[in-house]
Amino acid sequence: MQNLIIKNATIVTPCGDSARKGVAMSELTIINAGCVIANDGVITYVGDAESMPEVNVADYEVIDAEGRCLLPGFVDSHTHLVFGGYRPDEFEWRLKGDTYMSIMERGGGIQSSVNATRAASAEELEEKAQWHIDRMVEMGVTTVEAKSGYGLDTATERKQLEVIKSLADKEDQKLRIVSTFLGAHATPKEYKGRTAEYVDLIINEMLPAFKDLTTNCDIFCEKNVFEIEDSRRLLNAAKEMGYKIKLHADEIVTLGGAELSAELGALSADHLLHVSDQGVKDMAEKGVVATLLPLTAFTLKEPFAPARKFIDSNAAVALATDLNPGSCYSGSIPLTIALACIYMKMSIEEVITALTLNGAAALGIADEVGSIEIGKKADFVMLRSDNYKTLPYYVGMNCVKMTIHDGKVVNVND
């Protein structure tokens, strides 16, 4: 962390310490010829140069933005960052017509990554994940969520969570990492046909064992994976132990995961390609963030999640990449932005809020990051342009010039 002054910036940011909902997602504060001051990695001033407090400039790194846009650092609030192996063969199978669930039923899918992750060393997993982190930072990501879920046994789930912690604790790490336990990602082959018993294992052994490594618990609530009653049972147990809860919900079929997320007060429900109208309504009323993952829908050739229905129902929408080795081997923020604008009919203002403040809210840290405001972490993205509307216009291409995390420049693109 260090002291920093950024001057001559077009500052573009949502504001607040919680998710922005509905029409409020379009409300951005814009300060032309703006200035930001950060001390020890925390923002202490945001405004115009004329009102800037007097400081000893010699104590600061000074960056002249030359009119470029300065946004909050992007928050990628749903990824499966730590995994072993790759699954390009499954990508080819899908191109030939196989479905995600049919591949899973024949022993591929998540189980394939489980086998590879169990076999990989912690060092191998960390090296691979760091490569992805470095690419994320180049695209302006300053906070990322990383899930476990490719172990499906206590030892390997712990290995994944320890790798995530090791990455997060690195002194020179370029972004913030929030970990999530996803032991309920699938029923492992050794528990085939005994899903309830596997849920018992998670509740009785894994959840108590991992409280030192994470505070978040997720589940793949889906037909023939973990259905409503098992999901409710596991998530209630997690809540009782002090975990914040999240759900993969209504991705493949309309099951009621969205309604369950509202019932239980989850931080977020994610995917939601087949969410019901009642699920949208319930999530909006209870303030559950709808984390939408357009790269996955694009890769699987599925209908995109109904972003407009959520926003028009006064719900909060976040966007994330869902980087994973199977259904979405991409962490592309530029393509996420383009798909959200072109196919999900979100405005660029809504997209900026979804990728910053609302992504932070989906992780329970909107009071720390997600906007350019006094008291928040000095996490910024500087664009190449003075017009933030270039983000979707420059389709699938990276228009980030500089990434700043905790008041320190961590990447500059040529």
pLDDT 10s digits, 111-149: 889 999 999 999 999 999 999 999 999 999 999 999 999
Q: List pLDDT tens digits, range 201-219.
A: 999 999 999 999 999 999 9
What's the average model confidence in pLDDT over 180-185?
98
Beta carbons within 8 Å of 392's beta carbon, 6+ residues apart: 337, 338, 340, 341, 342, 348, 351
* The pLDDT of residue 302 is above 90: yes
Query: What pLDDT shows up at residue 182?
Result: 98
Query: Which residues share a beta bridge with 291?
Result: 270, 318
Q: Facing residues of 45 across strands?
A: 37
Q: For the residues 284-294, what does the mean pLDDT come to?
A: 98
Report whether pLDDT(106) > 80. Answer: no
pLDDT band at 103 (very low <50, low <70, confident <90, very high): confident
What integer pLDDT is reported at residue 1 of this predicted model? Answer: 56
What residues pair up with 71 in beta bridges, in sequence order?
381
Q: pTM for the whole thing?
A: 0.96
CB 259 within 8 A of CB 282: yes
| Mean pLDDT computed over 386-405 | 97
Closest CA to 217 of 191, 175, 178: 178
The mean predicted confidence, pLDDT, of the chain is 96
In angstroms, rounded to a whole number, what is the distance separating the alpha carbons of residues 90 and 385? Answer: 39
DSSP string covering 136-164: HHHTTEEEEEEE--S--SHHHHHHHHHHH
**Average pLDDT, stretch 371-382?**
98
The predicted model gives 76-104 an average pLDDT of: 86
Question: In percent, how much of the chain has pLDDT > 70?
Answer: 100
Report DSSP state, residue 364.
T
Domains of the chain: 4-72+370-412 (2.30.40.10), 75-362 (3.20.20.140)
Band of residue 107 on the pLDDT scale cut at 50, 70, 90: low
- The tens digit of pLDDT for each residue in 244-273 reads 999 999 999 999 999 999 999 999 999 999
pLDDT of 101 higher than 80: no
Distance, CA of 8 to chain centre: 30
Q: What is the pLDDT of residue 133?
A: 98
Q: Is the pLDDT reported for residue 282 higher than 60?
A: yes
Strand 408-412 vs strand 400-405: parallel, antiparallel, or unpaired? antiparallel
